[in-house]
Amino acid sequence: MTTIRKGRREFLKSSLSTAAIAASAWPRVSAAQPPAAVPRPVRLRFSAIGLNHGHINGQVESVIRGGGELVSYFATEPDLIAAFGKRFPQARLARSQSEILEDSTIRLVVSASIAKQRAPLGLEVMRHGKDFMVDKPGITTLEQLAEVRKVQAETKRIYSILYSERHENRATVRAGELVKAGAIGKVVQTIGLGPHRMNPKTRPAWFFDHESYGGILCDIGSHQFDQFLFFTGSTAAEVVASQVRNVNHQQYPGLEDFGDAMVRGNGGTGYVRVDWFTPDGLSTWGDGRLTVLGTDGFIEIRKNVDIGGRPGGSHLFLVDQKETRVVDCSDVTLPYGERLVDDVLNRTETSMPQAHVFLATELALEAQKQAR
């Protein structure tokens, strides 16, 4: 036990720029900017199909950082085409979806289409011999999941869902490194909270259609099921209980504005809560939080904002048997895009195991189906 504790302390001291904090007052932390991403040399050509959610920009940028060259895109909505073309002028607008699917030089397709259309598109992408990276929720029904699993097994293509709350948040990436190093002992439970702000004027009609977005636990809850599996190391899991409600938006009968769930895995347990109740007084769209409880301590992440006053996002707090620390995550690099490109080129699973992608999706869909 002495050796383990010593190793953990040495890891924290050598790999983190941290500041010890007292119980009565937090030290001031500089608003350091994240390191500028240096894209790798071009290693593959990729395209985008379906631009219906703004997450498509982060998806594309993650692949570019990893060595991808965006060569083309396709959508049918003039406003989305104009905005995407302005942001990525290096790419050309394809004449059709088929033009991209039949281009043998394209190795990867990324998509943030309407949620219920993502799995059908992914099936076509895989059948055309290409890998697929999609925004969450990447699948909206258990029937879609069964078909995607079948085709993925047949084609051996990658079906990756970019869970941005884990892969694109520096504090969450650093937390993964800490947990792997044993900083809080064995993980017991995760608590994932995903509040969002509701602004009907900026939302498209499909956002309010239950069939189109899949339900609140399927949609924004999917992040939390992914994090539960990752931090507990669970490879098998089940939904214990779940519930959803439309508490305050009866004018949109297809909308669910609250949902929560309890899950149990072979590596730990988890609790998920998501909602559309972020008040206008908050400086960002949602106070996303993750708590990882371990046998020797716990980690808390405030993903987007610290309501205690620290500027910026990606705030990580670590408490172990010795002290409480605030962990600087400003130097953390985001590895998902580079690893995904590696996986496409090398037929590996370094960005995210395929079994993990499907299990996280299955938990979200089961929780949605069982919800009362």
**Are 136 and 214 part of one and the same domain?**
no
Judge whether 241 lies within some domain. yes
Record the tokens describing residue 143, joined without a space: 């029937």
What's residue 37's pLDDT? 58
What is the sign, positive or negative, of the torsion defined by CA atoms of 24, 286, 328, 179? positive
**pLDDT, tens digit only, all 372 positions of the chain:** 333 334 444 444 444 433 333 333 333 333 344 555 567 899 999 999 999 999 999 999 999 999 999 999 999 999 999 999 999 999 999 999 999 999 999 999 999 999 999 999 999 999 999 999 999 999 999 999 999 999 999 999 999 999 999 999 999 999 999 999 999 999 999 999 999 999 898 899 999 999 999 999 999 999 999 999 999 999 999 999 999 999 999 999 999 999 999 999 999 999 999 999 999 999 999 999 999 999 999 999 999 999 888 899 999 999 999 999 999 999 999 999 999 999 999 999 999 999 999 999 999 999 999 998
- Integer Cα distance of 309 and 26 in angstroms: 10
> 296 with 170, same domain?
yes
Kind and range of the H or E run holding 47: strand 44-49
Tell me the two tokens of residue 118. Answer: 């993502």
* 315 shares its domain with 344: no
My answer on whether 244 and 318 are in the same domain is yes
The answer to whether position 196 is within a domain reads: yes
Interacting residues of 227 by C-beta distance below 8 A, sequence separation 6+: 163, 165, 166, 172, 190, 192, 290
Domain CATH for 82: 3.40.50.720
Enumerate the H helices of 162-318 as residue ranges.
Answer: 164-167, 170-180, 210-213, 222-232
The domain in which residue 127 lies consists of 44-162+338-352
Residues 269, 323 within the same domain: yes
Q: What is the pLDDT of residue 6?
A: 41
Per-residue pLDDT, 40: 84
- Whether residue 179 is found in the same domain as residue 320: yes
242 and 211, same domain (yes or no): yes
Q: In this structure, what is the dihedral angle of CA atoms 288, 280, 214, 77, given to the nearest 10 degrees?
A: -110
Q: Flag whether 99 is in a domain.
A: yes
Our CA angle for 251, 194, 266, nearest 5°, is: 125
Looking at residue 308, its pLDDT comes to 84
pLDDT at 36: 52
Give pLDDT, residue 108. Answer: 98
How far is residue 41 from each of residues 45, 63, 69, 291, 331, measured CA to CA in Å? 12, 11, 9, 37, 21
- pLDDT, residue 29, reads 34
Q: Are both 15 and 119 inside the same structural domain?
A: no
The reply to whether 131 and 212 lie within a common domain is no
Supply the pLDDT for residue 336.
Answer: 98
CA atoms within 13 A on the CB side of 98: 0
Looking at residue 341, its amino acid is V
Encode burial over 109-126: b for 16+ CB neighbours within 10 A, e otherwise. bbbbbbbbbbbebbbbbb
Query: What one-letter code names the amino acid at 267?
Result: G
Q: Is the separation of the CB atoms in 191 and 291 below 8 Å?
A: yes
Prediction pTM value: 0.89
Asked if residue 123 is part of any domain, the answer here is yes
Query: In sequence order, what are the beta bridge partners of 191?
Result: 271, 291
Q: What is residue 134's predicted lDDT score, i.e. its pLDDT? A: 98
Reading the block at residue 367, the tokens are 């929780």
Do the Cβ atoms of 115 and 219 come closer than 8 Å? yes
Tokens 């899950």 belong to: 263
Total domains present in the chain: 2
Q: Distance (Å, rounded) from C-alpha 40 to C-alpha 24?
A: 45
| Residue 22 and residue 73 share a domain | no
Residues 54 and 18 in one domain: no
